[in-house]
């Protein structure tokens, strides 16, 4: 019998936290083995997947080959990719695309019926499948429709994961005591905490773009899965590698609006305020260089000129082609008073993708038994120090498949049985002090501005140390308030971005080199051997070759 003060308890075979392409693809595959519960913060379709304009990269053309795709991925990753993992994913690409087609994903076609393939930065071949310029939305809608129709899948909207639960906390003993067996989840509508238990827990919560003031990510991207995993003791890797997308629309009324890299793939070029092309001075691939190189070049141009942006120029391209290939972008620009095909479009870099994440193996297992991570939440070894454009969706479906196969072999701990909840913290929180809205609002803004100003595209030790002090002070204030307050989504999200901000700074301080997305003026060259930055609670930094740690009490 469950104690009177215990939260509502829900039991399933698998608990998935997050509803992007990774979480939904996993749910569809894992549902063959039993009930799957998907919890998601807002509407089911609200995810970074839904905002992915460009496409999904796969070597499906007879003019392409696996070796080329692997080589491009490794080149972009700047020495930190795991080649064996990259090769497995790339070789699975055509099969994974066939599965998406089976769900009804309507990839764009050529006049002869063949798949239309685009090219993006870092790719030496045209291999990006797309659905005009709304690829993520199309995939999300098809997978969500399949999940909704599946008898074994339940999707709970407006539910936010708060913390992971171990077996010992719900009365399990032996090996099961140390396993992750569920999560405490906040119902955003009722503000009640629900205890979700499962034989396997899968984190698919996306990234943490909202750590930065300017980001292409949706508002939900507050690093919840990363923070939950870290607090539970899981190993995280390479958090210093935050990818800044080079071309977000620079407009006072635009919020997080991305101009797809596919636009440059079709021939658009970057120009400065004088109308001069500049990318050829910065990289041999010019406007189709990898994202880290393009973002740094734009940053350098802006600092040299004192201007607030650069421009994406499509005026030399055929207007009919532009409007047919990018109808969503053309319409969006028009709403902001811009003619995308007829005038230069102002753009700036913005935080876009976390290339690090929760460390996982080939089966998406984390360092904690019972816990898996997929999608942007995970660090799989695919992206290394810089993600190749449009590899993220392919990685998501590949590791969703791997995780589903691994979860099928997980022990059954619960079935339909409800355990006795004895965990500290499971009791109702009535009687605690109310959340201080002014603290949430002030610290939310200050933290994100500090991260943008001091932990951006180009870094140095002095600025990182300033950032560390300020971010730590904010996190301690937030944790003090959180201990006293009723759980709210706003406070939980602030606590998560404060924690991730501190971890990103610590990892950046620990890497004495410039590699991929991490460029520091103190160490502009690379170390001869590429190593991962490994961090976990209670152990500031560890790894194959430990960098000098700045000294931190994180957790």
pLDDT tens digits, one per residue of 455-469: 999 999 999 999 999
Q: Give the 3-state DSSP-derived string for 259-298, with helices as H, strands as E and coil as C.
A: CCCHHHHCCCEEECCCCCECHHHCCCCHHHCCHHHHHHHH
Q: pLDDT value at position 136?
A: 83
Mean pLDDT of 125-130: 94
**Do residues 260 and 332 touch, judged by C-beta distance below 8 A?**
no
Q: pLDDT value at position 476?
A: 92
> Alpha carbon of 530 to those of 71, 257, 290, 505, 549: distances in Å?
17, 34, 19, 19, 17
Q: Which two tokens stand for residue 433?
A: 């002090």
Query: b/e string for 65-100 if b means 16 or more Cβ within 10 A?
Result: ebebbbebbbbbbbbbbbeebbbebbebbeebbeeb
Mean pLDDT of 5-27: 90
Q: pLDDT value at position 547?
A: 41
Catalytic residue among 13, 291, 448, 463: 291
Write out pLDDT tens, residues 268-300.
999 999 999 999 999 999 999 988 899 999 999
Mean pLDDT of 367-380: 98
What is the radius of gyration, based on Cα positions, of the chain?
23
Mean pLDDT of 89-105: 97
Residue 451 has pLDDT above 50, yes or no: yes
pLDDT over 70 percentage in the chain? 90
Please give the domain boundaries of the chain with CATH numbers for all domains: 10-241+355-407 (3.50.50.60), 245-351 (3.90.700.10), 437-530 (1.20.58.100)
Q: pLDDT value at position 419?
A: 56
Please tell me the least confidently modeled range out of 51-60, 298-307, 335-344: 51-60
**Do residues 156 and 110 touch, judged by C-beta distance below 8 A?**
no
Mean pLDDT of 239-252: 93
pLDDT confidence band for 4 (50 / 70 / 90): very low
- DSSP-based three-state secondary structure for 102: helix
pLDDT over 90 percentage in the chain? 76
The one-character DSSP state at 375 is G
Q: Is 291 a catalytic residue?
A: yes
Mean pLDDT of 353-367: 98
pTM score: 0.90
Q: pLDDT value at position 430?
A: 41
> Alpha carbon of 177 to those of 62, 199, 411, 413: distances in Å?
52, 12, 13, 11
**Do residues 504 and 464 touch, judged by C-beta distance below 8 A?**
no
């Amino acid at each position: 019998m469950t104690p009177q003060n215990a939260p509502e308890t829900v039991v399933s075979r698998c608990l998935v936290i997050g509803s992007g392409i990774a979480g939904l693809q996993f749910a569809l595959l894992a549902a063959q083995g039993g009930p799957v519960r998907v919890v998601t913060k807002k509407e089911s379709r609200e995810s970074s997947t839904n905002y992915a304009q460009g496409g999904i990269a796969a070597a499906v053309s007879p003019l392409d080959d696996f070796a080329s795709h692997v080589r491009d991925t490794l080149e972009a990753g700047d020495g930190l990719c795991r080649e064996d993992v990259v090769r497995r994913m790339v070789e699975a690409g055509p099969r994974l695309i066939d599965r998406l087609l089976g769900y009804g994903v309507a990839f764009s076609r050529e006049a002869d019926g063949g798949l239309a393939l685009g090219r993006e930065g870092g790719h030496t071949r045209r291999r990006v499948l797309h659905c005009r310029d709304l690829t993520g939305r199309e995939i999300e809608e098809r997978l969500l429709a399949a999940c909704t129709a599946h008898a074994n899948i339940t999707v709970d909207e407006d539910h936010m994961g708060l913390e992971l639960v171990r077996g010992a906390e719900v009365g399990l003993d032996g090996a099961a005591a140390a396993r992750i067996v569920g999560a405490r989840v906040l119902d955003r509508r009722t503000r009640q905490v629900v205890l979700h238990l499962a034989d396997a827990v899968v984190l698919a919560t996306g990234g943490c773009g909202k750590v930065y003031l300017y980001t292409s990510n949706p508002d939900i991207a507050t690093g919840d899965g990363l923070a939950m995993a870290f607090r539970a003791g899981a190993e995280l890797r390479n958090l210093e590698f935050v990818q800044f997308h080079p071309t977000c629309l620079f407009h006072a009324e635009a919020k997080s609006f991305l101009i797809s890299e596919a636009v440059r793939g079709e021939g658009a070029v970057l120009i400065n305020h004088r109308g001069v092309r500049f990318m050829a001075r910065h990289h041999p691939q010019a406007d189709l260089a990898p994202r880290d190189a393009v973002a740094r070049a734009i940053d350098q141009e802006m600092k040299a000129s004192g201007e607030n942006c650069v421009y994406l120029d499509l005026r030399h391209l055929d207007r009919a082609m532009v409007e047919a290939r990018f109808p969503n972008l053309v319409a969006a620009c028009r709403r902001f008073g811009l003619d995308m095909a007829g005038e230069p479009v102002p753009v700036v870099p913005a935080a876009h993708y976390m290339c690090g994440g929760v460390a996982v193996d080939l089966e998406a297992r984390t360092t904690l038994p019972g816990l898996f991570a997929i999608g942007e939440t995970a660090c799989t070894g695919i992206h290394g120090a810089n993600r190749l454009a449009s590899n993220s969706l392919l990685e998501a479906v590949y590791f969703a498949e791997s995780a589903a196969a691994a979860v099928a072999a997980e022990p059954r701990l619960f079935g339909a049985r409800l355990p006795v909840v004895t965990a500290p913290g499971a009791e109702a929180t009535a009687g605690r002090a109310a959340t201080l809205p002014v603290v949430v609002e002030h610290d939310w803004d200050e933290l994100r501005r500090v991260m943008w100003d001091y932990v951006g595209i180009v870094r140095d030790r002095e600025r990182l140390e300033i950032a560390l002090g300020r971010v730590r002070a904010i996190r301690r204030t937030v944790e003090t308030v959180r201990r006293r307050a009723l759980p709210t989504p706003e406070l939980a999200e602030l606590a998560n971005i404060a924690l991730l901000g501190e971890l990103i700074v610590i990892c950046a301080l620990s890497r004495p080199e410039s590699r991929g997305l991490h460029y520091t003026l103190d160490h502009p060259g690379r170390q001869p051997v590429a190593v991962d930055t490994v961090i976990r609670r209670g152990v500031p930094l560890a790894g194959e070759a430990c960098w000098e740690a700045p000294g931190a009490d994180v957790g």
